[in-house]
Amino acid sequence: MSDVKITVDDVSKVFYKKGGSTAALRHVTLQVREGEFVCLLGPSGCGKSTLLRILAGLEKPSSGSFTIRPGSRDRPLQSMVFQENGVIPWMTVWENVAFGLKVRGAPGSVVRSRVEEYLEKTGLSESARLYPKELSGGMKQRVSIARAFANDPEILLMDEPFASLDEQNKIILQEELLTIWAETKKTIVFITHNIDEALLLSDRMELMSAQPGTITESVDVRLGRPRTIEKVRADSGMAKLFVKIHHHLRQEVTASRTAKNKEDM
């Protein structure tokens, strides 16, 4: 693969706790190209967040390794967007978006112009002085996204950022994210368990097995851009892909239930 930005090489992760251990990931190998949008899709508990936390440097692999190809020196390697509670409650929208840049000691003029740019792109300019408690769930996620992009990281890691939103807000934010991604061409690893979301967003999906998670299949999403959910729904190839992936996920969920029942016996 040319232009590889992220390499995950045979990563396994075991969590040890009193009286036992949990194998979260086994032999995960993955490559992501510069500027690519990759979705990791798998059933709940299969280790998706663990893999993302490893890429974010928040967790260490038990074995195996990963690299993120560095770029410019004044950029952070990665920014993370969480499912919820990613905003700092005692800071305004403006301060939240500026946070990463300020921590890095970016000059005031750079902070101001980047914050304003991303407030604008995420439709938050009018809300810059509000505090998180005054915002809806969708707006809070916009703040997290604005902060992540304003930070100008080498790669963006997104852990089910829209999972707690209602359907309408979810679609609006997904399409906004695609617009910003098309402009910035950031490398994105995005976790979801929602097939429609992965079809709408990604260049490629990596399907994961039940816990302990490993990548079982890589699926290219061959649908032109710009995309909308209407285009995804109207495309017969995407409809077939949906069914195929749905079967895959179902099998994995069944497999994990059977394994759990055996453990409990």
Residue ranges binding ligand ADP (CB under 6 A):
15, 17, 22, 24, 42, 44-50, 211
**Least separation in angstroms between CB 161 and Mg ion:** 11
Our CB check for ligand ADP shows the closer of 23 and 223 to be 23
Q: Which residue has the tokens 């998706």?
A: 48
In 19-152, at which residue ranges do the beta strands (DSSP E only) sit? 20-33, 37-41, 63-68, 78-81
With the CA atoms of 75, 85, 171 and 159 taken in that order, what torsion angle do they form, in degrees rounded to the nearest 10?
60
**DSSP conformational letter for 56:** T
Concatenating the DSSP letter of every residue in 149-166 gives: HHT--SEEEEESTTTTS-
Per-residue exposure over 202-216, b if at least 16 CB sit within 10 Å of its own CB, e if not: bbbbbbbbbbbbbbe
Residue 228: both structure tokens together: 């909308």
Least distance (Å) between residue 260 CB and ligand ADP: 10
Q: Does 49 bind Mg ion (CB under 5 A)?
A: yes
Query: Please, which residue, 47 or 161, has the CB nearer to ligand ADP?
Result: 47
Q: How far is the CB of 21 from ligand ADP (least distance, A)?
A: 9
Window contacting Mg ion (CB under 5 A); options: 48-56, 196-204, 221-229, 244-252: 48-56
Question: 17 or 262, CB closer to ligand ADP?
Answer: 17
Tell me how long the chain is. 265
Considering the complex, state which of residue 152 and residue 252 has its C-beta at the smaller distance from ligand ADP: 252
Compare residues 49 and 256 and give the one whose CB is closer to Mg ion.
49
Residue nearest to Mg ion (CB): 49
- Which H or E element spans position 96? helix 93-103
The Cα–Cα gap between 152 and 252 comes to 36
- Least distance from C-beta 16 to ligand ADP, angstroms? 8
Q: Which does 45 bind (CB under 5 to 8 A by kind): ligand ADP, Mg ion, none?
A: ligand ADP
Binding site for Mg ion (CB under 5 A): 49
